[in-house]
Structure 1
Amino acid sequence: MLPPDRAGDAARDCSGGNILAQSSTRGTGFSSTSQAATGRAYPNGNPALGYNPPGVRNTDSAVPLHRSKPVTHDYACEGPAPGSLSFRWTYGSNVAAKNRDPRVQVVQYNEDTFVLRQNVCVHWEAPFTYLLFGNEGALLIDTGATANAAHYPLRETVDAIIARWSRARGRSKVPLTVALTSGEDVAQNQGLVQFADRPGTTIVPKPLAAMQRAYGLTNWPAGTGRLDLGGRVIEVIPTPGTHRDGVTFYDPYCDFLFTGDLLFPGKINIGNDGDFVASLERLQTFASAHPVKWLLGGHVEMMFVPGKYYPRFATYKPYERVLEMTPDLIGDALRHAREVRGKDMMLIRPDFVLFNGVSPDQRTPVWPEGVPNINPPRPF
């Protein structure tokens, strides 16, 4: 509860927490003029104020400077939680052995959402993994393409993020769940062994039947499962097609769909075209009933010019397309998945390429209509 003389200070703003009116409290030691707790002078909260207004969320200003108990966030919000991916991923080197970039690149999208990427010189697919926090636990989605922790220190990196997050929120333990968008995908499941003996960790099993039981998916591929992180409930949507056991995760806090290999800006190798079409139909139906800001897949292989992509095993990718995809691309993928169903062919789209029944190294002499044919710049 706010003190009576401050009860009128808080005004609700679901786009990014609370906006505070000007306070009569003067920032002792900071300024002789009154400051709003979220004003320009104190973008993360005025440290002179001795309270944190109820309902504040979506920003680290929600973490009291002088907490007396573990911090609890309210993950219910109108609209997606604010965050940013406005930066450039590391893009490798021509000579992989000489690359000096971090083995795991970490980007904090917002205070409870982290995006991690494996160095492209450690593994050419450079897969993404995602770490989400709730009030009662954390979820790691996918584990990368390398088991050796000396080459790819995923667990060490995740442990460091969890430790820092826990200290800021006054929590001694944060249970971790490790889940995969596909247990069959060797570019996303190899790092799982690093968590095998980690205390306080639940690993969703890789075998299809065991995974279905873990999520309560008794009518596969219909229905959805749930992972409750404590106020932040992640939905699990069956999406086989590129893999028999494929799933997509939906985060209603950020309005993200984590699609793994099903749909990403790259070369999509269809394993079963009937399942692939059905999964995209299921995903489109889900997206029409839920707010979706972005689709975040497992890789980036496309260049920033339409329809052009990097070849397999490339370790230098300076002109990558951005990771995030808009939800309208589900419909685009569905239309063209229906076109390739039952045919051995590749089909180029501006944001992805479909391969059905052909090698991922397949080439086509005919450039598709409707896709601008722009030569990408040469990096040399």
Structure 2
Amino acid sequence: MQTGSSETAVPCVVVPPKKLANTPNGDPEQAYNPPGVRNTDSCLPLRRTGPVVHDYECDGPAAGDITLRWIHGSVVAAKNTDPRVHVIAYNEDTYILRENPCVHWEAPFTYLLFGNSGALLIDTGATPEAEFYPLRKTVDALVRRWCQMRGRKTIPLTVVLTSGEDVAQHQGRGQFVGRPETTLAPMELAAAKQFYGLGEWPKGTGKIDLGGRVITVIPTPGTHKDGVTFYDSYNKLLYTGDLLYPGRIMIANDRDYVTSLTRLKAWSESHTVKWVMGGHIEMMFVPGRAYPRFRNHREFEHVLQLEPRVIDEALTYATGIVGKATVVFREEFILLNRVGPDEQVYRTGADMPEIPVPFWLP
């Protein structure tokens, strides 16, 4: 007589299929997109019948990474043979450019963003002469390359500035005067507010639509009275210029500076922010230490990108020095309020790790 099976019944569990993230132009989880490589899907179909159109609506930041050492200059600037403009492709629609420190010691960064109907150049470097700093030639080459990939003849370019006052960020602007299909944002604050659609300064935000890729313009005075920050909705990056970067931050108006950081903190709490991308690198890899001004050789620099938590940290310490002539040293930045740019450059903060600078560093 059969009494039944002695095996224990195993319940059938139905595993729902994994919900695919909406990353139309590059899935970071794919094996062909490891960090530090291309970080995006190819936009070169074998058979193309028209211009390639990208979908810039994606879950989280678009694929992209920075895993390299920037050109860091030479002890003897005149003997430097590196490119005058260092370019990396963050992804197919985003390029980061750096001026060679041997061309200008501030070695500012410039950002070139592409959308389906327009391109945006954020800041233009510290050197006007194309002979020494071929920014337009470099940008033109990148635009041609991008248009070839997308099956286009050309694309309009808009040139904007994180500050019209910042000499280290607008000197190359003149190279784009007279360039076809190019719009230059005004350098004067009153005209710039109208250009960006900003009403009651510094409240509100403006928009630059590159064709599916929207860039938000956020007023952030404090280091400059006309300072603005650009938020890239595709990469989830904040381009902050002189407001917040790994270096000596010269506060021009401490109350405005605190208000602007408060505005960025609120923005980062309501929007995804992957990194804060400033206009320079001045810090060393040693916490709290910065290279002196006018140094053309900075071999052991801090990385460019800052985590969004740095906004909170800068806000906390900036709030505490309103009205005071002082310097605040943090691991990734230095705040200088109502003092000169060389005030105690080498001092470290009391609550930071005491890491001695190697003997070969200044």
Q: Same fold (TM over 0.5)?
A: yes
Once the two structures are TM-superposed, the CA of residue 376 in structure 1 deviates from its matched residue by: 2.2
The CA distance in 1 between the partners of 2:354 and 2:99, in whole Å, is 30
* One-letter amino acid matched to 1:297: G
Q: 1:303 is matched with which residue?
A: 284
The CA distance in 1 between the partners of 2:242 and 2:56, in whole Å, is 28
The CA distance in 1 between the partners of 2:118 and 2:360, in whole Å, is 43
Equivalence map 1:1-380=2 (5 Å)? 12-15=20-23, 17=25, 43=32, 59-363=40-344, 367-379=348-360
* One-letter amino acid matched to 2:314: A
The CA distance in 1 between the partners of 2:234 and 2:300, in whole Å, is 31
Cα pair 2:275 2:307 within 8 Å, conserved: yes
* One-letter amino acid matched to 2:279: G
Structure 1 residues 134 and 17: alpha-carbon distance in aligned structure 2, compared to 1, 3 A threshold = closer
The answer for unaligned runs of 5 or more in structure 1 is 1-10, 20-37, 45-57
* One-letter amino acid matched to 1:14: N
What are the Cα deviations for residues 3-24 of structure 1, in whole angstroms up to 9, with x where unaligned?
Answer: xxxxxxxx944346578xxxxx
The CA distance in 2 between the partners of 1:365 and 1:131, in whole Å, is 34
What are the Cα deviations for residues 130-162 of structure 1, in whole angstroms up to 9, with x where unaligned?
Answer: 000000010000000000000000000000000
Secondary structure of 1:212's aligned partner: helix
> How many pairs align?
337
The CA distance in 1 between the partners of 2:169 and 2:219, in whole Å, is 17
Once the two structures are TM-superposed, the CA of residue 379 in structure 1 deviates from its matched residue by: 3.5
Structure 1 residues 17 and 116: alpha-carbon distance in aligned structure 2, compared to 1, 3 A threshold = closer
Once the two structures are TM-superposed, the CA of residue 84 in structure 1 deviates from its matched residue by: 1.7
Cα pair 1:166 1:173 within 8 Å, conserved: yes
The CA distance in 2 between the partners of 1:368 and 1:358, in whole Å, is 17
Structure 1 range deviating more: 223-232 or 355-364: 355-364
* One-letter amino acid matched to 1:316: H
The CA distance in 1 between the partners of 2:26 and 2:337, in whole Å, is 49
The CA distance in 2 between the partners of 1:231 and 1:109, in whole Å, is 19
Secondary structure of 2:305's aligned partner: coil
User: Alignment RMSD, CA only?
Assistant: 1.8
Secondary structure of 1:121's aligned partner: coil
Once the two structures are TM-superposed, the CA of residue 66 in structure 1 deviates from its matched residue by: 1.7
* One-letter amino acid matched to 1:251: D
Cα pair 1:262 1:268 within 8 Å, conserved: yes
Secondary structure of 2:42's aligned partner: helix
Once the two structures are TM-superposed, the CA of residue 364 in structure 1 deviates from its matched residue by: 7.2
What are the Cα deviations for residues 252-274 of structure 1, in whole angstroms up to 9, with x where unaligned?
Answer: 10000000000000000000001
What are the Cα deviations for residues 211-242 of structure 1, in whole angstroms up to 9, with x where unaligned?
Answer: 00001101110000000000000000000000
Structure 1 residues 18 and 183: alpha-carbon distance in aligned structure 2, compared to 1, 3 A threshold = closer
What are the Cα deviations for residues 326-376 of structure 1, in whole angstroms up to 9, with x where unaligned?
Answer: 000000000100111100111101000011111111117974232112122
Once the two structures are TM-superposed, the CA of residue 61 in structure 1 deviates from its matched residue by: 2.0
TM-score under structure 1 normalisation? 0.86
The CA distance in 2 between the partners of 1:282 and 1:103, in whole Å, is 36
Structure 1 residues 69 and 338: alpha-carbon distance in aligned structure 2, compared to 1, 3 A threshold = same
The CA distance in 1 between the partners of 2:301 and 2:30, in whole Å, is 37
Secondary structure of 1:330's aligned partner: helix
Secondary structure of 1:354's aligned partner: strand
The answer for unaligned runs of 5 or more in structure 2 is 1-18, 34-38
